[in-house]
Structure 1
Amino acid sequence: MTCTMAQSQAQDVIRCQYCEDEPAIFHCVPCGDELCPRCKDFHLKSKVPSGHNIVRLSERLHPTNQIKMCEVHSYKAYEACCEDCQVPVCITCIQEVHGKHTIGKLQDLYEKQKAETENELSRMKGQYKSEIIQRIKDFKEGEREITTSYESEREKMKVQAQNMIDHISTIFKEALQLSEEDERRNRNEISQRIAEAEGFEQNLDQLIEKFETFTESTHPADLILFRKQNPDIFKQLKLPDKLKIVMPSFTVGQIKKSQNEHQFGMLLIGNVKSCNESLQPIERNWSVSKNTGRSVKISETKTKKEKLFHVSCLSDRSAYISGDGPGIQLLDRSGTELDNISTDGQPSGLAVMQDGSLIYSDYDNKLIYKVSLNKEKTKLISTKSGPKGLCCTRSGDILVCMGLFNTARVVKYNSSGRKSQEFETDQNGESLFIDPWFICENVNEDICVSDWRKSKVVVLNKSGNLRFTYDWVVLAGILKDRFEPRGVAADILGHILIADANNAVHLISQDGEFLSLILTEDDGISRPRGLSVDRSDNLWLVEEDNVCVKMYQYLF
């Protein structure tokens, strides 16, 4: 058995292809020959066009030591590389195409590109892998949240529908009860009249019978005596009054779709859009993120006012604007005036309610007006101090900025104008605002307030607790001066957009993380003031001094 194993091991030894006696230790890559040490020297003296590349036999299977045939000339092996074209080449490739190019070692190009590939591989395994895992996690979390959210909203709708059903059922029962009671009352009245008429008829029959007897079969003296004793008997006959019966009538009410939705409530539909954000390095250099280059101007319109302050979208094709002096215009995206609403004073804030009605604040007269779709104007809210910016929430409430310094606050009213909450201080009793002017609600019902004296955007949750403040850190070469926030708006993806009087529009996440400047003076904007995002997530912007209304698409 020992002898058999020894023979097997002896047969496994690779012999030199030249002397066939000594074990092969070396391998010539171009020639493919296995060589012993003695024959290696002899082999190197032989001349071949490609030259020799001797490696140890144990290294012959390494990728760099294997022969790879040229893709263009399949009968030739790759032997070098063209440094100009960055491709491997064979002898024929050099002769036919790359003769005037710089030819280098294949191993050198391989090592260079191997280092780059290993660096990219490291990034893919690290940053890209972690990024895509996080995005998948976020997508699944978003899927779970949107499912939960829709289920929650549908439950609210079911509760509201049941409440309306119960309310209608109560109205129906009350109406039935009223009709039954009214029927009993009328029937009793008629029954009483029937009894009276039947009694009259019975008395009349008896009188007729008596008169007939007196005139036909009794002695004449009987009739004379009867008439003497009852001289007014005929005059006393008084017929019961006639009845005028008014039949009941039920008028069917008309339920219009808009009224029905207004009474039931409105579902603001959700949306899912791509942000088109490519994977970026983990360490971001914000000093060079001057502009994302992802905003496209759709339209621009000049107005006749001397200054513009506010804009509020009615739809994705029209918006209300106001500026210095009285009056509010409704413009379409081409600048055509669709409507003009007269006001007593200069509007200090604009907003559109869920039913399409316009509300605007009048700072000087301390009033908030409502203008319905049929242009009926009413005083909705009377305030103690001048109301400034306002917005309508997803739940139908109205948020209003008021006051200055120690009276600065945000007040919440319901759609009927009744005050429900005030937000003045944070959890530690510190004042939240100095001079709040613009306000909006985010998709997660956060309250976003622009305070220009404080140079911050203050964000509260729907209960009024402070979530975060955003105060822009001036970056070299991007802004000329301090952060001067003006209009704020929110889109369907949860972004918060902020107009900065220093010729910029900021885009931040719903958690206050700076994302980018989607517009700067390089895009031609100057002192942006009011912002509004329409249902298609287009940004409407008014410039204070240029009196321009501009519309941009910034999500792709």
Structure 2
Amino acid sequence: MSEPSDEQAAMQHYLVCGTEDCQKNGQFYCNACHRPLCEQCRDEHVVKNPDTKFHEIVLYRHRKQQLPVEKCKLHPTRNVDIFCKECKIPLCSKCSTMEEHQGHKFDDLEEIYAEKYALQQGEFSKIQKYFLPSAQSLKSYVEEDAIQIRKIMESIRTSMNAEAKSLKNLVDEVTSENIEHTHIMEKSLLEMLKSQETTYDDYIAYLEKMSDEFQEYLSDTNQKLLFSETLKIKTIPETTKPVLPVFTGGKFSKDDISKLLGNVNVPNTEPEKRKIQPMEAESTHMKSTEKQFKQTKEKSDMKQTLSLSSSVTKVKEYSVPGVENAFHVSVDKSGRLWVSDDIGNLVQTDIQGNQLQKIQTSGWEGYHTATQDGDLIYRDRGKKKIYRITPDKKITEFIKTGNGTALGVHSSLINGDILVGMKIDTEAKVTRYSKAGKEIQNIQRDIKGQGLYRYPSYITENINGDICTSDFNKHAVVVVNKSGQHMFSYTGQGSRFFPFGICTDVLGHILVCDGDSNTVHLLDQDGGFLFIILSQQGTTFPRGVCVDDENNLYVGQLFTKIVTMYKYLQ
């Protein structure tokens, strides 16, 4: 066998071909032989070998599950591999020749097992991809409603206190006015009585004077009294008694006060049922899953889709001016690169590697991302802000991160949302913002309340909406679905794993740089490790990765300014 090329050596396989002495990528699978096959061995299997040309060859991920080995109780040297349809029991081939099974019809037990396995896998997938996320989403809605109820009730209590305070102020005001009025009434009445007192003082003085005159007349010894006029006494002045004020208490009840202050009640309307997303799309996916074991070689060959190539091909290299290294890479829809180093230099180049613009910011994580519209989103850790750069080089402030420190940033190619890894003191989370910069979701804990992240430094989104986060401090790639439900965590293939740059491709693969082995790992959509797509022989110290619209893989390196473009899909 000839020696592999440099590009082939750079691709170290995890799923190797099952043909003896063949070490190529076993991306196909023979359902009859139950072994993986590379592309070359697949062709030899069904074209050149007459004994196996009718074997069913499918993609590895569509393989039929092999029947578990179980020995026949009657014939211990035989495996149970057929099913008697009349007796409804599993048998070995020798049992089928026995007299009690004469004339019976039999099914291939492996076919039944594969079908049942696909059905159970489908049900399991429903739980993981529909029921559990939907229930978790509904639970989050309940929690949001509880928060809203608390806010509403607190607002109502504040309003009630304000209403009561307002009424109390009015009561105090009216009471104060009434009391002031009593003082005025009291003064007026006392002044009237004082006037009457003066009248009587004057009258008493008059009487005393008259009394003296009478005494004078009565004491004379002459006959003056006989010739004087009789003195007349003035009548006593009349006065009136004051009409005493009377207090009439207000007539009110508790109900009257309730009417004044208002009340709280729940409208007599029918509660609205929470919306549960239909499972139509998921059902379609499940039906497809249930039929995967029936896919034939002809259908697989006719299917015009991309697949993993048996080798990685280097297309070209860029030497990026203005940066110390290529720590993170983004590519926009025009094919222009944005490259940043670990000291805050952010540079845009054209497809020839010429510098178009340069920005000075701060940080070393995956802090910039190209959008659907051709803009670039980047964050400045020192200023605690996220900015947008339009194709005409206009820079505008986009989001303020407040107390949090923004780390990784990613723009969704599905809906344009912005995903931001955040670190706040000892807590970490991924926050989703709308295209307009409005905060709409926080992903922080799993279903058990445990923190999902420690340092979410690089973020990407898969074709199914899963959010894939490279967490350096947690030594893991943490994947949640679009509702924030934890799906899986990938912790590498060795004793240590230091994830850096991360991206996904059109087939749903997850590609992540490992700073310990200085390789790029390729995972399937569900977190299953496939193989090392780039080893140290291909690219030295890979740190940043991204995939463009033409399915080219860009890899940035730690100790050089080089960004290398590869082809790994065919």
Normalising by structure 2, we get a TM-score of 0.46
Normalising by structure 1, we get a TM-score of 0.47
